[in-house]
Chain A
Amino acid sequence: MDLLEQFRVAGESIRANKLRSFLTTLGVVIGVASVILLVSIGEGMRTYMANVFAGMGSNLLFVFPGKRDTRGSGHPPMSTTVHKLTLQDSNALRQRSLNIVNVAPLVVGGGRVERGSRSRDTMVLGTDAEFIVVHNLAVGVGDFLREEDVDAKHRVAVIGQTIARELFGDESPLGQPIKVAESRFRVVGVMAPKGQSLGFDFDDMVLIPVNTALDLFNEEGLTRISIKAANPSNLQPAIEDIVRILKHRHNNREDFTVVSQADLLDTFNQIAATMTYVLLGIASISLLVGGIGIMNIMLVSVRERTREIGVRKALGARKRDILMQFLIESVMVSSLGGALGLGLGSLIATSISAAVPEIPTRITLWILMLAVSFSVGVGVFFGVAPARTAANLDPIEALRYE
């Protein structure tokens, strides 16, 4: 019996029970839509992270105080810190390794930035001139922090775009006095817009000389040291240099942690991948439920059409013909659901990223293929049992069925 005719018969049967077919396949619609939605969010996050890391600069290494065994997750446990990372450590790294081109010490603090009656609570970073080189940043107007600002503990500040707008509006902030954490500073520059990256909003921060920051926050140690290696092949030697230099300075104890940008990216990718699979698993459950729904209705359909099956068999339909008829019907129902779910999921994913740009979604070909093959697979898997029931009916019994 030709396949085209099988499809026509199946389509006819689906059309004859429009509402029932739709309700049957609703589980698959929801399942496929959620697979697409969740996986596209996961994929979007991954792409987003990759972009963030690319924008952060390349060939980066970070040194944190305290020793950790696991790589690149969370904050270092402060209690194990024996030696704090100091500005002298940072300078030593800058001077004693050929594999390192730039070093930026970093003290992270928070505080209120004020100008007259206007104020804003923001992040205050203490660093030095090399910060913008290491992190691929640019100054919009004015200057960045200079070496002599650090050495002389000048009270100068470079502010982000958001701060400039909040405190100064359309006025030029250059040379203007502001108060950072109750201390007077002079604005020497405004950063070019950069946006958020890795939880830092580069537009919403104040950068001051690292020495000044240590005094201001009454800190002795650095939060971290950012290091730029000459090129990717220098990364491993640079790590060895850092460990050697710092151990030497810390009484031969490795009480610090070196993390590479690649480690961080790997970790984020791992988290994102795990998330994607977990979400995929959850979405699969709804596909499973949808499949059971299809099986249920197909079994009802086989029962309802017992007589038809008997007639078809009496007229010469082989087991295979009946099996195919019902299998094609269930695959058609589930594929229909798959197609609807595909549209629905893509629509929701697209409108989410349109409405909330912070949640990027990305619909890739493999998600679509996965969703389509899932829905066809569901139809086949859950259609086999009802179709076999139909195919194995005894024609005499089936003809007698009321």
Chain B
Amino acid sequence: MLIEIENVSKVYRMGENEVHALRQVNLSVDRGASVAIVGPSGSGKSTLMNIIGCLDTPSSGNYRLDGTLVSRMNDDALAAVRNRQIGFVFQTFNLLPRQSALENVALPLLYAGVSRRERREMALEALRKVDLADRAHHKPAELSGGQRQRVAIARALVNRPSILLADEPTGNLDQKVGREIIALFRRLNEQEGVTLILVTHDREIAQNARRQVEIIDGAIVSDRGQ
């Protein structure tokens, strides 16, 4: 079992009020699975994604990633887990504008302590997987939206993470390009065996995952396709 989430709750304090973003959530995901987390905005799906992605820790409950309890780790330990286990793909791509595609892709390797030459080779390899090796030296501004998202996917893949965590990855793309990106995710999941977690509010896109988990008001209300 890659992801084991047990009784995880997340409570935020907003002034006087306590906001329960997650209530006693239980979720397990196998290695190589593809899971869509669906829910309207404010449902808690972003909170769940942040916890799965080790950007946040639960208020209570346990989260084991690949057998390691990560829910009690400190910031730097979490950073190391993110670096090795998680590949993030964001709605707004989040590429560094002054760096070339290759440098953007190599960024996680920088924090992993990989040597300069290896960084270059691994980044090129990742770009090849998303069919963008020929754009390696372009700056993000010189690439189309779809190409930018593919660079971001290459960056997510470069350190060979256990989980590819995509947050509304087609939100800023037109339909046609969005479909291409989803196809790329499917290919990576099916051919490369990368565990895919797709966070979206769009049920149609969610159908591309083999399993759909729906979350409303901080609780999982349905879990289909398991």
Q: Do A and B come from one complex?
A: yes
- Partner-B contacts on A (CB < 8 A): 1-2, 5, 12-13, 16, 307-308, 310-321, 395-396, 399
Contact of A316 among B84, B94, B96, B99 (CB under 8 A): B84
A315 vs B158: C-alpha distance when bound (angstroms): 11
| Minimal beta-carbon separation of A132 from chain B (angstroms) | 75
B55 contacts across to A, CB distance below 8 A: 313-314, 395-396, 399
Contact A396/B56 with A16-B98, A316-B82, A318-B80 known, Cβ cut-off 8 Å: yes
Q: Do A317 and B113 have beta carbons less than 8 Å apart?
A: no
B102 contacts across to A, CB distance below 8 A: none
Determine whether B18 belongs to the interface, using a CB cutoff of 8 Å to chain A.
no
Contact A314/B53 with A320-B76, A399-B94 known, Cβ cut-off 8 Å: yes
| Minimal beta-carbon separation of A399 from chain B (angstroms) | 7
Listed A/B pairs (6) with beta-carbon separation below 8 Å? A2-B113, A312-B107, A313-B82, A315-B88, A316-B79, A316-B112
Q: Do B90 and A313 have beta carbons less than 8 Å apart?
A: no
B50 contacts across to A, CB distance below 8 A: 396
A308 contacts across to B, CB distance below 8 A: 96
A5-B116, A311-B96, A316-B112 known; 7 other A-B pairs, CB under 8 Å? A2-B116, A12-B99, A311-B107, A314-B88, A315-B111, A315-B155, A319-B79
* Complex interface bits, B54-87 against A, C-beta within 8 A gives 1, otherwise 0: 0110000000000000000001100110111000
B79 contacts across to A, CB distance below 8 A: 313, 316-319
- Most A CB atoms within 10 A — which of B56, B83, B159? B83
A310 contacts across to B, CB distance below 8 A: 94
Contact A316/B80 with A5-B110, A16-B98, A399-B94 known, Cβ cut-off 8 Å: yes
A314 contacts across to B, CB distance below 8 A: 53, 55, 82, 88, 94
A318 contacts across to B, CB distance below 8 A: 75-76, 79-80, 111
Q: Do A1 and B53 have beta carbons less than 8 Å apart?
A: no
| Minimal beta-carbon separation of B75 from chain A (angstroms) | 6
Contact of B82 among A315, A320, A321 (CB under 8 A): A315
Q: Do B96 and A317 have beta carbons less than 8 Å apart?
A: no
Contact of A315 among B56, B108, B113, B116 (CB under 8 A): B108
A321 contacts across to B, CB distance below 8 A: 111
| Minimal beta-carbon separation of B77 from chain A (angstroms) | 9
A312 contacts across to B, CB distance below 8 A: 107, 111
Instruction: Count how many chain B residues have C-beta atoms less than 8 Å from C-beta atoms of the other chain.
Output: 26
A316 vs B88: C-alpha distance when bound (angstroms): 11
| Minimal beta-carbon separation of A130 from chain B (angstroms) | 79
B112 contacts across to A, CB distance below 8 A: 316
Contact A317/B111 with A395-B55, A396-B50, A396-B55 known, Cβ cut-off 8 Å: yes
A2 vs B116: C-alpha distance when bound (angstroms): 9
B83 contacts across to A, CB distance below 8 A: 315-316
A286 vs B78: C-alpha distance when bound (angstroms): 43
Nearest residue (CB) in B for A402 is B92
| Minimal beta-carbon separation of A49 from chain B (angstroms) | 55
Shortest beta-carbon contacts, A-B, top 9: A316-B83, A316-B111, A315-B108, A318-B76, A318-B79, A311-B94, A316-B82, A317-B111, A314-B88
Nearest residue (CB) in B for A392 is B75
B94 contacts across to A, CB distance below 8 A: 307, 310-311, 314, 399
Nearest residue (CB) in A for B119 is A5
B155 contacts across to A, CB distance below 8 A: 315
* Complex interface bits, B95-115 against A, C-beta within 8 A gives 1, otherwise 0: 010110000000110111100
B113 contacts across to A, CB distance below 8 A: 1-2
Q: Do B90 and A399 have beta carbons less than 8 Å apart?
A: yes
Contact A12/B107 with A314-B55, A315-B155, A319-B75 known, Cβ cut-off 8 Å: no
| Minimal beta-carbon separation of A58 from chain B (angstroms) | 65
B84 contacts across to A, CB distance below 8 A: 316
Contact of B76 among A1, A12, A319 (CB under 8 A): A319
Q: Do A1 and B110 have beta carbons less than 8 Å apart?
A: yes
B56 contacts across to A, CB distance below 8 A: 396
A396 contacts across to B, CB distance below 8 A: 50, 55-56
A319 contacts across to B, CB distance below 8 A: 75-76, 79
A152 vs B88: C-alpha distance when bound (angstroms): 108
